[in-house]
């Protein structure tokens, strides 16, 4: 069973190094076959058999030892995240966790960012998606080393997945590491990956009330990129309102209005990146 | 729906404790879920109920303690109960407030052999 939403197999996430991808030909891909067969025998089955008890039991058995723990259930993830954070700090790596709903334009922002910064800055990307290598392929074409984590049915990345990905991805000293989380504004909010900063991306084709609907994500982020500014003349998105809602939750949150398509605002985003220590 | 991941974390955490202490059976586990923790207590309890089968918690009685959210108004400094993160101060109707309680999500205790 999926460790997150209950379907599929538990813990079936995979870290893919694109350089070691195995090609599938049609023959290989089509190797599922139905496996029906007649049963040919019967099964015994038991029925519950309740009856009144008619006597009482003494209640003097040993109740065991109480262990007071008071352990945060996310402590294991937080511990691993802290180790990741130290690993990044030791290598002067700026690690950014990019979160958003699906379709906000995270990958396009990253493609543009990589093309603009790769001549002067070392970059690396961890891509999180439920399925496919598509995003990591796009990122590699932009010129930065990328590794894909497929979470299977999972709806977020966790610190352990990032740890495994960093083992495979050679992150150079002084790099910026972008982690593109699974598109989901709910679950990733709870899972620290060891990032230096969390960047939430929303787009003008979404409702401006998104911060109010997903307060945990906006409360835990440092920067909000409002993407698709080029569409503002055609949609009802009120930028000031969206900023107001988000600031009411998180007064320290910074905002940059960008268009990954036209390039508007991206220089401001690059400046923000350059100013992060 | 991260409640399934969290339920697995609880089972793993209980397993580590049992191993550490050399005990074999957990009779009871008490888990505190704050109303502002980002965890849906009901969904979490259902997830745990499904996942405990054949685990170390299979026979354990699961006790969930709900902790109400509490906040302190940044404008008038009143303490009040917060039903959600967007709650406004009942005294001055202001927002935001500093969250003071209800973010807990932890295993409080185990009863073992």
Q: What is the pLDDT of residue B61?
A: 96
Q: What is the pLDDT of residue A38?
A: 44
**Which of A187-201, A234-248, B83-97 is the least confident region?**
B83-97
Please give the average per-residue pLDDT across A81-96, as a whole number: 98
pTM tops 0.95, yes or no: no
Cα A92 from chain centroid (whole Å): 22
Higher pLDDT, A19 or A3: A19
Please give the average per-residue pLDDT across A3-12, as a whole number: 44
- Provide the ipTM: 0.87
* φ and ψ of B65, to 5 deg: -105, 125
**Which of A139-143, A205-209, B45-49, B92-96 is the least confident region?**
B92-96
Q: What is the pLDDT of residue A71?
A: 94
Nearest CA in chain A to B9: A73
* pLDDT 10s digits, B91-102: 999 888 899 999
Separation CA A152–CA A7 (nearest Å): 10
CATH 3.40.50.2300 for domain B2-112, yes or no, is no
Q: What is the pLDDT of residue A137?
A: 93
Separation CA B8–CA A161 (nearest Å): 16
Residues in contact with B108: Cβ distance below 8 Å, sequence separation at least 6, in sequence order: A68, A69, A70, B30, B31, B32, B65
**Which of A39-48, A153-162, A228-237, B75-84 is the least confident region?**
A39-48
Q: What is the pLDDT of residue A63?
A: 66
Residues in contact with A172: Cβ distance below 8 Å, sequence separation at least 6, in sequence order: A91, A122, A124
Please give the average per-residue pLDDT across A208-213, as a whole number: 94
pLDDT at residue A23 greater than cutoff 70: no
Q: What is the pLDDT of residue A98?
A: 98
Token representation of residue A274:
């350059």
* Average pLDDT of chain A, as a whole number: 85
Q: What is the pLDDT of residue A43?
A: 47
Cβ-defined contact of B2 to A1 (cutoff 8 Å): no
Pairing of strands A123-129, A14-17: unpaired
Q: What is the pLDDT of residue A5?
A: 39
* Average pLDDT of chain B, as a whole number: 93
The band of A12, judged by pLDDT with boundaries at 50, 70 and 90, is low
The band of A42, judged by pLDDT with boundaries at 50, 70 and 90, is very low
Q: Which residues does chain B have within 8 Å of residue A5's beta carbon, measured at their own beta carbons?
A: 1, 4
Q: Where are the alpha helices (DSSP H) in chain B?
A: 3-21, 41-51
Q: What is the pLDDT of residue A55?
A: 53
Please give the average per-residue pLDDT across A37-63, as a whole number: 48
Would you say B104 and B36 are in contact if contact means Cβ atoms under 8 Å apart?
no
Residues of B with a Cβ under 8 Å from any A Cβ are 1-2, 4-6, 8-10, 12-13, 17, 21, 23, 25, 27-28, 31, 38-39, 47, 50-51, 85-86, 95-96, 105-113
Nearest chain A CA: its distance from B11 CA (Å): 10
In chain B, where the domains are located: 2-112
Q: What is the pLDDT of residue A20?
A: 59
Partner residue facing B106 (CB), from A73, A189, A215:
A73
Partner residue facing A3 (CB), from B8, B105, B109:
B8
**Which of A4-8, A89-93, A127-131, B101-105 is the least confident region?**
A4-8
Q: What is the pLDDT of residue A239?
A: 98
Q: What is the pLDDT of residue A13?
A: 81
Q: Which residues does chain A have within 8 Å of residue B38's beta carbon, measured at their own beta carbons?
A: 189-190, 216
Q: How many CA atoms lie within 13 A of B15 on its CB side?
A: 12
Residues in contact with A213: Cβ distance below 8 Å, sequence separation at least 6, in sequence order: A185, A207
Helix (H, G, I), strand (E, B) or coil at B99: strand
The band of B23, judged by pLDDT with boundaries at 50, 70 and 90, is confident
């Amino acid at each position: 069973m999926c460790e997150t939403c209950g379907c599929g197999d538990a813990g079936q996430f995979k870290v893919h190094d694109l350089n070691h991808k195995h090609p599938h030909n049609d023959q290989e891909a089509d190797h599922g076959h139905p496996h029906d067969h007649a049963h040919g025998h019967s099964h015994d089955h038991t029925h519950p058999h309740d009856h009144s008890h008619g006597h009482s039991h003494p209640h003097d058995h040993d109740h065991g030892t109480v262990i007071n723990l008071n352990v945060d259930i996310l402590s294991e993830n937080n511990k691993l995240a802290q180790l990741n954070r130290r690993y990044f700090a030791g290598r002067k790596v700026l690690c950014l966790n990019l979160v958003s709903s699906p379709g906000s334009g995270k990958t396009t922002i990253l493609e543009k960012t990589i093309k603009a910064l790769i001549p002067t800055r070392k970059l690396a990307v961890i891509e999180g998606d439920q399925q496919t290598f598509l995003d990591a392929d796009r990122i590699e074409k932009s010129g930065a080393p990328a590794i894909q984590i497929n979470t299977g049915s999972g709806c977020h990345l966790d610190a352990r997945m990032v740890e495994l990905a960093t083992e495979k991805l050679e992150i150079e000293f002084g790099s910026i590491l972008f982690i593109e989380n699974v598109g989901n504004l709910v679950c990733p909010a709870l899972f620290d990956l060891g990032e230096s900063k969390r960047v939430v991306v929303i787009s003008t084709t979404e409702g401006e009330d998104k911060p109010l609907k997903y307060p945990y994500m906006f409360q835990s982020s440092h920067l909000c990129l409002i993407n698709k500014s080029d569409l503002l003349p055609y949609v009802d998105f009120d930028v000031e309102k969206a900023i107001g809602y988000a600031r009411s939750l998180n007064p320290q949150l910074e905002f940059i209005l960008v268009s990954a398509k036209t390039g508007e605002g991206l220089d401001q985003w690059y400046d923000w990146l350059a100013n992060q220590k | 729906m991260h409640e399934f991941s969290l339920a697995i974390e609880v089972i793993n955490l209980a397993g580590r404790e049992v191993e550490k202490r050399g005990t074999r059976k957990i009779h009871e586990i008490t888990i505190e879920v704050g109303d502002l923790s980002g965890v849906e207590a009901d969904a979490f309890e259902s997830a745990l109920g499904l996942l405990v089968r054949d685990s170390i918690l299979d026979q354990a009685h699961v006790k969930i303690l709900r902790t109400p959210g509490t906040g302190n108004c940044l404008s008038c400094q009143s303490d009040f109960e917060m039903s959600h993160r967007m709650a406004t101060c009942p005294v001055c109707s202001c927002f935001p407030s500093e969250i003071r309680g209800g973010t807990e999500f932890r295993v409080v205790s185990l009863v073992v052999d």
